[in-house]
Structure 1
């Protein structure tokens, strides 16, 4: 029996009593990128092996001493129905093939097996195994709910049912070993998601993160692949790259949309061949590192613009996880606000201040372009400026949000279509005048601020006095009693 160099990923098991057949088929698979291969020369060892570890597929010779494939096939199907079995034999009898398919074989191949046909068949079997596994996991979540690996997601604070659904999807696909592209705006926590995927995957190697933004091709190549002694002036010793450091584990490449074209080619080769060349070496090194990537840019638009390779995109997106922005999960703001307030106070050796209820109204109306990272910075800044007393001041929050909104000339674009009758001014009928547009913005800001003028003024990027004057003018002009509550 030969286990080869295995990761935590389930292997493909080859069973044949002819050693040269095992060697040939094993080379076919490893040469095509399927590195997790176990060979068994004695058929009596197979069921014990399957009892000890999972397998993605079994490639089974029919006619062997001791236990034949015809005897083993129904046993495999009975005890491990999720594992596809590909039968390989020298027999060309149609009746034998029909018998095997009736017993539950995934496919039937006749020796001598042509390499392309063999590899294609095994890949289909592996894909079927992974799909069955994902469907089984998702069914389990639908029926029972909850997470199997809650500890892996503990660093990600959330009350969002949408985000918890993403956690369940991650549990379903993390063990596949396939690439996963994590998308989302800056500051949503893509790095934490990548770490959770690594934890859930059960891979034995390290989690190694790298932000590729700003790396030229030479820096990218040396950082990932390392170099050999003498590869360039000053290379006095061999240097291990991050791919080797993450062997058996996970390499997380953040900001993948910034990767230079030449580096894209090298990453594609790593994914296709599962091997790489250290600088100064012409001998490829095998890789069993799982690759995760993340971006806040639209890679499909980059493909259309010719700045990102389409073939690399498809290699990176065996699975895709999109993290919603903070503004789409407002139920997380109170939880995060409390956590960051305690975190900041603890780091500054201060007592934890209370947060005023109006602060949640202000934060709930803010767009949060920087997402969770922005909220954390706002809270830490406020706690740093807090001079004592039981309640945290809102002034630094007002200043920061006011500065953002004052410089943001796209405030009109942030109005939600149909949120109020005033917002409809921008989506139907004659185009509003500038005065009508400003009045609609004022009323929308007051709605989002629950009629709190201080918060509304912050959202508009103006002072409270300016807002009050505008409300007085609106009431005078329209003579509407509906505006009276806004003046209180």
Structure 2
């Protein structure tokens, strides 16, 4: 299992009392789940530690020899304004606390404060630093027009402006520890987007994918959280959950819109508290993976229908991308067609076939309800039947025709029934021919196929129409 640092930046603990430093470190590592800690018992070493480490939060004692905590607070605030400082003092004095806050301290705690209150304050400060760094990364990205890591997006074949904007946004939020929600119809490539976001995150842990559709509450909990030995009948050994396996990396939950109400509550608690309990355990474990969720459902509509929790929706909504369907990015068809021709030929150990010019026009007439996955299947089927030379359009024509008949793409009602005045048969025929030519990009061979007639028959009809015009 990969060992990650939590948080990504260092937490510096400064106190001249070594027993207190050790006790504080144990509290932060144990119940707190923080692992990126630095201890310092000599305040004179603090400037050098700032030069050597990426410090985002300082837990600072006030009363120390050499350089006082108050003086260090002043220096940190002046030289490192993005670093948050929490004062941990043995003095419970309101005037002292107010003075520290005026000097820029994030919070002030007495050392005898309850452990839970102290950890809550530290978590708030950590979150503040994370938000500051996320916002800085987004601002830096907004001033750049080129992708910093285009290689990450190589599997996502596109030149669509909306897709390229999504890539830029993913780079902007790559340092964020907040959830990422990926929306889009089935087959648009949500898992490829999740993989790209994972690679951009820079963690050394794996991408662990879980399709949660159809999982009941118990299976969902066991899959994500794992269990201890003896947690239930048949649990004869300990099993780590997917969260633990994704430590230091990314947990990708696909089809999140299909979660049961009880499982939604469990996921919400995980995201809110950053901890979870393996089944049969009384000791919490820390979430140390970024969570990415995806769904083809309209979650906003599900919230309105009260089938998806509003609080969970807004928790997942921290960062969101909506992948456009293939019918809205038709300019990608030539690129995708060539990409799938090459991959299918390589898999089938065949030469890459040449696509006929009219094939793109044919594909442009179709709405692709199955999106990129459907196009890939079409191409693979066509290449598997291809004997050589120029690729035939027949396989594509047949599959598109079958899909239109069985996929609910034929209008459910006669379009002429809504008209007050019906066109004549000749007028209706002309309108149908015009629609077919428009869809086919004025390619008469393809338009004839759409109309179910021969190309000479269509050519004759067009000639007659011109003669009678």
Quickly name the TM-score band, shorter chain normalised: 0.7 to 0.9
- For the residues of structure 2 that align with 1:7 and 1:93, how far apart are their CA atoms? 32
Cα distance, 1:257 vs. partner? 0.7
- For the residues of structure 1 that align with 2:463 and 2:26, how far apart are their CA atoms? 80
Question: Which residue number corresponds to residue 393 of structure 1?
Answer: 392
Equivalent of residue 443 in structure 1, options 434, 444, 459: 434
- Describe the superposition over 1:319-361 as per-residue Cα deviations: whole angstroms up to 9, x where unpaired: 1122222222223221111111011111111111111222122
Cα distance, 1:72 vs. partner? 2.9
Q: Provide the secondary structure at the position in 1 that maps to 2:239.
A: coil
Structure 1 residues 63 and 450: CA distance shift in structure 2, 3 A: same
Question: Which residue number corresponds to residue 151 of structure 1?
Answer: 151
- For the residues of structure 1 that align with 2:468 and 2:64, how far apart are their CA atoms? 93
Structure 1 residues 392 and 38: CA distance shift in structure 2, 3 A: same
1:86, 1:109 within 8 Å by CA — same for their partners in 2? yes
1:6 aligns with 2:5: yes
1:206, 1:250 within 8 Å by CA — same for their partners in 2? yes
1:28, 1:115 within 8 Å by CA — same for their partners in 2? no
Cα distance, 1:254 vs. partner? 0.3
- For the residues of structure 1 that align with 2:312 and 2:458, how far apart are their CA atoms? 57
Q: Provide the secondary structure at the position in 1 that maps to 2:231.
A: coil
Cα distance, 1:215 vs. partner? 1.6
- Describe the superposition over 1:358-386 as per-residue Cα deviations: whole angstroms up to 9, x where unpaired: 21222233212222111111111111111
Aligned pairs (5 A) from 1:277-292: 277-292=277-292
Cα distance, 1:172 vs. partner? 1.9
- For the residues of structure 2 that align with 1:114 and 1:471, how far apart are their CA atoms? 90
Cα distance, 1:234 vs. partner? 3.4
2:134, 2:175 within 8 Å by CA — same for their partners in 1? no
Aligned pairs (5 A) from 1:101-250: 101=102, 105=104, 107=106, 109=108, 111=110, 125-250=125-250
- For the residues of structure 2 that align with 1:212 and 1:230, how far apart are their CA atoms? 25
Structure 1 residues 27 and 236: CA distance shift in structure 2, 3 A: closer
Equivalent of residue 452 in structure 2, options 448, 460, 463: 463
Gaps of 5+ in 2: none
1:57, 1:126 within 8 Å by CA — same for their partners in 2? yes
Cα distance, 1:111 vs. partner? 3.8
Q: Provide the secondary structure at the position in 1 that maps to 2:151.
A: helix
Structure 1 residues 282 and 139: CA distance shift in structure 2, 3 A: closer
Cα distance, 1:451 vs. partner? 1.8
- For the residues of structure 1 that align with 2:384 and 2:93, how far apart are their CA atoms? 79
TM-score of the pair, normalised by structure 2: 0.82
2:4, 2:247 within 8 Å by CA — same for their partners in 1? no
The farther-off stretch of 114-123 and 128-137 is 114-123
Q: Provide the secondary structure at the position in 2 that maps to 1:253.
A: strand
1:217, 1:263 within 8 Å by CA — same for their partners in 2? yes
Structure 1 residues 111 and 362: CA distance shift in structure 2, 3 A: same
1:9, 1:177 within 8 Å by CA — same for their partners in 2? no
Aligned pairs (5 A) from 1:32-111: 35=34, 38=37, 40-42=39-41, 43-77=43-77, 79-87=79-87, 90=91, 101=102, 105=104, 107=106, 109=108, 111=110
- For the residues of structure 2 that align with 1:293 and 1:385, how far apart are their CA atoms? 38
The farther-off stretch of 230-239 and 256-265 is 230-239
Aligned pairs (5 A) from 1:263-274: 263-274=263-274
Cα distance, 1:297 vs. partner? 0.3
1:9, 1:36 within 8 Å by CA — same for their partners in 2? no
- Describe the superposition over 1:76-96 as per-residue Cα deviations: whole angstroms up to 9, x where unpaired: 345544333445554858699
- For the residues of structure 1 that align with 2:431 and 2:78, how far apart are their CA atoms? 68
2:203, 2:248 within 8 Å by CA — same for their partners in 1? yes
- Describe the superposition over 1:29-77 as per-residue Cα deviations: whole angstroms up to 9, x where unpaired: 986x774563534234444444344344334344432333343345434
Structure 1 residues 139 and 283: CA distance shift in structure 2, 3 A: closer
Q: Provide the secondary structure at the position in 2 that maps to 1:65.
A: coil
- Describe the superposition over 1:173-231 as per-residue Cα deviations: whole angstroms up to 9, x where unpaired: 12222111111111111111111111111112111111111222232222222233333
The farther-off stretch of 192-201 and 228-237 is 228-237
Q: Report how many aligned residue pairs link the two structures.
A: 459
